[in-house]
Structure 1
Amino acid sequence: MEKYSINGVSLLKNEKAIFPMMGEFHFSRCPEPEWEEEIRKMRACGMDIIATYVLWIHHEEEEGVFDFTGQRNLHYFLELCEKWQMHVWLRIGPWAHGEARNGGFPDWLLKKGYKLRSDDPDYLALVERFWKKIYKEVEGTHCILGIQVENEYGHVGGLRGVAGEQHMRTLTKLAKTIGFEAPYWTATGWGGAVLGDLTPVMGGYCDAPWDASLKQLPPNKNYLFSTVRNDGNIGSDYAPGMELSFDKDAYPYLTAELGGGVQVTHHRRPRVAAEDIGAMSVCKLGSGCNLLGYYMYHGGTNPKGKLSSLQESTAVGSFCDVPELSYDFQAPIREYGQISETAKELKLLSMFAHDYGETFCNMQPQFAGDDCESTSVHTGDFQDAEDLSAFRMITRRSGDHGYLFVNNYQRGYEMAEHKDVMLRVQTADGEISFPKQDIKNGAYFFYPFNFLLSDDVTLRWINQTPLCNINRKLWFFYGNEKMQYEADEKLSGQVLISMDRIWAKYAWRMKKYPNILFFSALPILETENGIEVICRSDRAQKNCWIIMDATVEDAKTWIDNGWKKPDIIPDFLHVEGDASTICVLSHDLTAADNQTVASFTHTDVNNCIIRKEKNVFHRAEKTDFSEAEACAIDDTGKDYQEYVIRISYDKAYDAAKENIFLQIDFQADQAELYLNGVKIADQYYIGDVWEVSLKRFDFPTELILRLYPLEEDDKIYLETQPDYVNGRCCSLKDIRCVYEYKEKL
């Protein structure tokens, strides 16, 4: 059996440091038939742990009536995680927040009059009853690596000081008495939250959509290399960020809530880019983080309630309104399973963590900055996020081995460009100098120094970021500079392979094939029998490439299955060393691409799925799209414009292999989709095209779309402004379809 433990620096497995990647995915916010594929996607994108809430209101909305069936079936979800070798970090509450109604508490519980989130025996008796039901679901599974007790306790509600600490101990003792077991027990630590002897996990978001401000927020401190682990913006709608209640130096720096995106609120709607999350993550690595945990990593959809909707809202005392159904979160994997650019961005870090995590965990950040310097730049004050001319850098090292981190990215602001910069690191053997380079606005990276390739060969420096390695023979790097390096000995059996950042994001690593690195612009997933690629009609279909260690892998099996050996190494790779060590194969997806595009394009009237010429969508009333007058009034008195969407399909689709995404380009306050009179999807406008899976709803042929108007003077912060007509917008710009299918390789 594997032995897990913890020290003051990192998590340990069999007494060796490990650097896992963790992503939040709420099973009860995703239909049960989709779980297995979504777990496979998270695995393919480099996640090792799935964190998930068990939201009380999802399971006991009516007092004494428990529901662990369908998409609330925790036991089955854990079985699937176990099947795909994914650990689980179970967040059992009892209070969760998570943009759920009452923070996850059922309405009936609030009406009891008990002192909630305290040692009130009547409250604890109900917690015990609920937790015993959870434990019954957990029994017999073996994938739970960690358990989180409560959430933001002492910061967002709850008691502080001695009483707060005691309540956390009471809950932990109760959970263990019931029978819960896990190597790690944690509590959220930001904002002055109390721990009750548990291990703290931290967070950090690129924006604060719960904040009351209707303006662009000041430069975010999460883009600094800093000793400060607390993000004062988290939960700022409930209470301002407070000092930590514990000595951070006594615990490893672990995160559970780095924003993989953000959930938009009605009054504040940031639009997140992959670089926002990537740069923030690199800053956390440079600052000493040894567990990257993302909230959310996979978006979701709130389930339907029996008595009410289940989202957070001002109607039930929250400070924010969020969509009733959508919990997309702009996450790396979106609400309907779309793998985004953010997922590819974070995959760069997961591959690094898996191959270099053991040594990296034992490297410490050098905040004094005395061991590294740069030329021709203003170093500034690293603790001042508003200093956009400061050059932000740090080393993380153990002795003379380590990494030099640079971040010149600040979300929403332009950083100064630094020309002809020479980065220097001080070591016992003298100064290490990297080649001069221009560091542009938006750049972020980390370079290794005294990087061990073997017992005999060390890279004194290389101006590339490490990605991964195969058998410590093939060493993969990426960067936008031409690869240069200095080694203390001539390469002997080692091959250095570099590529630009775009191609690095096309790299995929499968646990089933540890001696192979796959390259594909399209996502590649493991199956029970092999691999498959997810193709979409709106994505460029390029060849898939694989690179393997030629000395240990027999390429014949791959060639027999349709892979080909090219005449030369592909030009996206720069190779240093003995190229005969590399075996490169490609798989041609061109034929599939041509078939897909020919069948699903708007210009091809005969074959397209949705035919605008045949009234794919039309206004319920004969008024122009841009007209300001309402065409209908809902039961709350809000006016809206309504459209009928009719969809014709050119064949019957296999839901196991195929999907069709309806893309709705709208400008309005919010949009809602209805099927047979029931609302099935909703979205606030943020400037993106809204994408909805038609497979999830059994490929319907008619939907109703409602758009609610947005007024120019509404008290809403929008990063992307729509086109207003006479101070209002409520328009449908376009509707189109995207076909998705899986091709086995």
Structure 2
Amino acid sequence: MKHVTFLYTLLIPILLNAQNEGVTSYEIDLRVPEKDIFSEHLKLGGKNFKGTSYEVNNFYISKNEKPSIPITGEFHFSRYPEAYWEEAIQKIKAGGINMLATYVFWNMHEEIEGEFIWNGNRDLRKFIKLCAQYEMPVILRIGPFGHGEIRNGALPDWLLAKPITIRSNDPNYLSYAERLYDEIGKQIEGLLFKDGGPIIATQLENEYQASAAPWGLTYPGQPLDYTSAERDKDFVLNGVGTSTQENPYADLGTDHMRVLKSLAQQAGIITPFYTATGWSRGAIIPNETLPVTAAYPYPTWTKSPDLSPFYLYADLHKTPDYSPVKYTVSDYPAFTAELGGGIMATYTRRPLVPAKSLDALINRCLGSGANGIGYYMYHGGSTPRGQTNFFSDEAFGSPKISYDFQAPIGEFGNINESFHRLRILHYFINSFSEQLAPMQTVLPKNSESIKPADTVLLRYAVRFKDQSGFLFLNNFQDDTQMTTQKNVQVNLQLEEGNLQIPEHGGFDLAVDENAIFPFHLDIEGLHLNYATAQLMTRFENSGTTYYVFFSPEGTSAEFSFRFDESFKMLSNRSIEVDQNSRRWLVKPISTNKSLFTFTKGKKKTSILVLSKEKALKSWLIPGPTESQLLFTDALVLKNEDSLKFISKGKNDFDLEIFPKTKQVPRLSFGKLNKLQSMNLFTGFEVHLPEAQLEFTSSRFSERRLVFDFKGGIPESLNDVFIKLDYEADTAMGFYDNQLVSDQLYLGMPWEIGLRELINLKGAEEMNFYFRPIYKDAPYLVDLKESAYFTGSTGKVLIKDIKFIPQYQTSMSLLSN
């Protein structure tokens, strides 16, 4: 895709409301000065011996001199079983994530002073090597302070006993920080970017002078004592928010960050990028650290739900979220690296994060100029127990074990709806970031007057460069009900003429839906005036270039191409075409899938249009020269020479392949039946033998359940989940007299993966204890909207128990 230079004024007319009865028209003026992009001031980036290079300017990051948009997924290796790290990385990559962030929690590695632990689930080196194996770049968050809902924000308990000032340039504190960095440096030696390894960035400290965690050593009823330098205690926040006070010790904060960077480099931790928390006046090193920002629409550190501003478009390159900030905003890219990929429940607050809120948030951030996005968390986990205490942030009211976070990939590796909704957006970013990253944001004139409570006005923004760009639309807002957008037109006022989307009439956008519509884009030399469908990906196969679009829920797809005599459009019964001397107007007839093709000489360009429901089942399987799309309800993981399918609860599932193939794949386990001839796709039915589980449950009393796992998990399965539909205040699972799992009730069923417990620990029995919800519990403010919560208090309700097998099989990669 190339930027378009117009040679003549566009001829598509502007249709007024009088000519389009019932249409609601909006406009946006794109006749603005071009974005000023510069880089001389920044001491960031680098090149390794393999020739791979990273650069950064004030607007975007480049890899090998091409603009790119990092998509960062947070995953904590120390919160997940070492035996399943490889699968976790595969899942993260399958979701379209192109960079992984992970914490090195100091207290997990040096719980006892001077005794470092780097084995088992804390084997940092092994984890980074696995990231290298799957070509997954890493941001290493080295602390010393880490937060992450870890006890003391990852500071070891023994620091509280020392006569030092933490998180400051106190020489005694720095000596401990230096020792930590030296140990980390030894573990990652040879695995840094400069050595050809995957570690491309280092985060120094975390939320420094912005927020802190409570010390874990506390007393019931006592106000929390926060882990900040004494001088900063009056200025740091409880959680992520907007700072209202300017810290008079800000310069000391900058000095401390400089010292930490120096200590890290002395320890051999040398990376192209150093990042730092930029929100809420967080301290950075000017021009030497990349400030990253955050957005949490469902915070647990507020007293009740409220409408957040994070679903209203803004110019993040002028005003970041949680402003004011300490740095010069226009000097750095807008890297929204800590977006709430869910939220962690606390005892007093338990908001449910709807799956549709996540892709709406990313749409809004991209439309607002973000050139880097990241999720905290993307993959959940379980916080381990230490030798002396639980490592979880008990003082803050976190679960003692669970760190599910309602993330796209949950605590036990379970795939949630948000994973699929984000994946198709990640495909778009990964395919078109070279075009999107340099595009500046323009907002409509009324953007500043729209408030989160406004549910009727259209929310929209544009990113464009050289007259080419994307129209961003969002119809989601947290904690309220939006209005369906019906019969909407958007008029783009450009230097070279006006463009109306759509040409006639209007488009609809369903409640809670969002969309990204391209305009004036070059598609292999063919000029796309606009589309009311969302661009998902681009790939090559058998000499044809495929562009894949999908129709947002409630929206009819329409494509306007500039007429070009050098192209020939192949007739197709699945579309309607209106052609005149100016353009082809293409409307798919099928609401599920349609394909149409343009040819120019021997070159073929095909447009595949899917329903969003179909797109959510799509999996892009990249190859060295050719790629394919697979469609299935199963999770698809790519190995070097095979695909692994994981199907939760279904031993039979369909598999469709696009483009069509004559090959019949072979399964490692189970049977494959080819379906009758299908239009566009080659279809198969996968049949796996139904698992016979010997698991039982019994209710010992109102508050106690006993599960028997004798017989274990059959070797043919990937995992088995308990799905426990219950109602209680808290639920706790015990094995061998130890708490191994827990949940603060969220108003939804609890699913617990059993393979670690059974396969790794040899469990045959697990006992659960429940505590009833009490009247006027503070978290009832969050449960009231749940469809699962009946409102009962004072009793424990066990409504249903299921054991769900997770099937698996593999097949070799196909080629046409």
After superposition, the C-alpha distances for 1:174-205 in whole angstroms (9 at most, x for unaligned) are: 11122111111110101110102311011111
Name the SS for the 2:621 alignment partner.
coil
- The corresponding residue for 1:734 is 800
2:82 aligned to which of 32, 51, 64: 32
Greater mean alpha carbon deviation, residues 289-298 or residues 427-436: 427-436
Q: In the TM superposition, what are the counterparts of 1:131-170 in structure 2 within 5 Å?
A: 131-141=181-191, 142-156=197-211, 157-158=228-229, 159=232, 160-170=249-259
- The corresponding residue for 2:682 is 585
Amino acid at match of 2:350: R
- The corresponding residue for 2:533 is 464
Amino acid at match of 2:714: Y
Amino acid at match of 1:684: L
After superposition, the C-alpha distances for 1:510-541 in whole angstroms (9 at most, x for unaligned) are: 3446521111111100123300110122x594
Distance 2:92 2:109 in 1: 25
Cα 1:361/1:460, change in 2 over 3 Å = same
Cα 1:164/1:383, change in 2 over 3 Å = farther
Alpha-carbon shift at residue 339 of structure 1 (Å): 1.3
Answer yes or no: is the 8 Å Cα contact 2:72–2:337 preserved in 1.
yes
Name the SS for the 2:310 alignment partner.
helix
Amino acid at match of 1:253: A
Name the SS for the 2:121 alignment partner.
helix
Distance 2:449 2:458 in 1: 8
Name the SS for the 1:473 alignment partner.
strand
Which residues of structure 2 form unaligned runs of 5+? 1-49, 192-196, 212-227, 233-248, 568-597, 812-816
Name the SS for the 1:531 alignment partner.
strand
Distance 2:72 2:718 in 1: 28
Amino acid at match of 1:569: N
Q: In the TM superposition, what are the counterparts of 1:288-367 in structure 2 within 5 Å?
A: 288-314=369-395, 320-367=396-443
Q: In the TM superposition, what are the counterparts of 1:421-432 in structure 2 within 5 Å?
A: 421-432=488-499
Alpha-carbon shift at residue 609 of structure 1 (Å): 4.0
Alpha-carbon shift at residue 385 of structure 1 (Å): 1.6
Alpha-carbon shift at residue 110 of structure 1 (Å): 1.7
Alpha-carbon shift at residue 429 of structure 1 (Å): 3.7
Amino acid at match of 2:640: E
Answer yes or no: is the 8 Å Cα contact 1:381–1:390 preserved in 2.
no
Distance 2:634 2:490 in 1: 35
Cα 1:569/1:279, change in 2 over 3 Å = same
Does residue 401 (structure 1) correspond to residue 468 (structure 2)? The answer is: yes
2:732 aligned to which of 663, 668, 672: 672
Does residue 642 (structure 1) correspond to residue 704 (structure 2)? The answer is: yes
Does residue 452 (structure 1) correspond to residue 514 (structure 2)? The answer is: no
Answer yes or no: is the 8 Å Cα contact 1:167–1:196 preserved in 2.
no
Name the SS for the 2:89 alignment partner.
helix
Amino acid at match of 2:142: I
- The corresponding residue for 1:637 is none
Distance 1:229 1:426 in 2: 22
- The corresponding residue for 2:267 is 178
- The corresponding residue for 2:742 is 682
Q: RMSD in angstroms over aligned alpha carbons?
A: 2.2
Answer yes or no: is the 8 Å Cα contact 2:104–2:143 preserved in 1.
yes
TM-score (norm. length: structure 2):
0.78
Name the SS for the 1:75 alignment partner.
helix
Distance 1:388 1:247 in 2: 33
Answer yes or no: is the 8 Å Cα contact 2:534–2:549 preserved in 1.
yes
Q: In the TM superposition, what are the counterparts of 1:264-275 in structure 2 within 5 Å?
A: 264-275=345-356
Answer yes or no: is the 8 Å Cα contact 1:380–1:387 preserved in 2.
no
Alpha-carbon shift at residue 20 of structure 1 (Å): 2.2
Does residue 660 (structure 1) correspond to residue 729 (structure 2)? The answer is: no
Answer yes or no: is the 8 Å Cα contact 1:199–1:251 preserved in 2.
yes
Answer yes or no: is the 8 Å Cα contact 2:317–2:369 preserved in 1.
no
Distance 1:563 1:433 in 2: 48
Cα 1:543/1:426, change in 2 over 3 Å = same
Alpha-carbon shift at residue 672 of structure 1 (Å): 0.4
Does residue 506 (structure 1) correspond to residue 597 (structure 2)? The answer is: no
Alpha-carbon shift at residue 381 of structure 1 (Å): 4.1
Answer yes or no: is the 8 Å Cα contact 2:758–2:764 preserved in 1.
no
Does residue 473 (structure 1) correspond to residue 528 (structure 2)? The answer is: no
- The corresponding residue for 1:236 is none
Does residue 720 (structure 1) correspond to residue 792 (structure 2)? The answer is: no
Name the SS for the 1:497 alignment partner.
strand
Answer yes or no: is the 8 Å Cα contact 1:380–1:390 preserved in 2.
no
- The corresponding residue for 1:260 is 341
Name the SS for the 2:280 alignment partner.
helix
Alpha-carbon shift at residue 557 of structure 1 (Å): 5.0
Distance 1:415 1:560 in 2: 48
After superposition, the C-alpha distances for 1:72-115 in whole angstroms (9 at most, x for unaligned) are: 00000001110111111000010011100000000001210201
Answer yes or no: is the 8 Å Cα contact 2:675–2:685 preserved in 1.
no
Identity of aligned residues (%): 30
Q: In the TM superposition, what are the counterparts of 1:20-419 in structure 2 within 5 Å?
A: 20-141=70-191, 142-156=197-211, 157-158=228-229, 159=232, 160-197=249-286, 198-211=289-302, 213=303, 215-217=304-306, 219-228=307-316, 243-314=324-395, 320-367=396-443, 369=444, 381=448, 384-419=451-486
After superposition, the C-alpha distances for 1:285-320 in whole angstroms (9 at most, x for unaligned) are: 100111111110000101110011111122xxxxx2
Alpha-carbon shift at residue 719 of structure 1 (Å): 2.6
Amino acid at match of 2:374: G
Which residues of structure 1 form unaligned runs of 5+? 234-240, 315-319, 371-378, 571-583, 600-606, 626-640
Distance 1:232 1:729 in 2: 46
TM-score (norm. length: structure 1):
0.85
Answer yes or no: is the 8 Å Cα contact 1:545–1:586 preserved in 2.
yes
Distance 2:658 2:511 in 1: 33
Distance 2:146 2:666 in 1: 52
Alpha-carbon shift at residue 556 of structure 1 (Å): 5.0
- The corresponding residue for 1:443 is 513
After superposition, the C-alpha distances for 1:149-176 in whole angstroms (9 at most, x for unaligned) are: 0001111145541111111111111111
Alpha-carbon shift at residue 586 of structure 1 (Å): 2.5
What is the number of equivalent residue pairs in this alignment?
663
Name the SS for the 2:179 alignment partner.
helix
Distance 2:320 2:744 in 1: 26
Name the SS for the 2:705 alignment partner.
strand
Answer yes or no: is the 8 Å Cα contact 1:313–1:321 preserved in 2.
yes
Alpha-carbon shift at residue 230 of structure 1 (Å): 10
Distance 1:229 1:153 in 2: 22
Cα 1:271/1:487, change in 2 over 3 Å = same
Cα 1:509/1:32, change in 2 over 3 Å = same
- The corresponding residue for 1:17 is 67
Distance 1:324 1:172 in 2: 33
Cα 1:4/1:566, change in 2 over 3 Å = farther
Alpha-carbon shift at residue 446 of structure 1 (Å): 1.0
Distance 1:566 1:366 in 2: 49
Answer yes or no: is the 8 Å Cα contact 1:147–1:184 preserved in 2.
yes
Q: Which has the higher contact order (CA 8 A, sep 6+)?
A: 2
Answer yes or no: is the 8 Å Cα contact 2:633–2:647 preserved in 1.
no
Name the SS for the 1:17 alignment partner.
strand
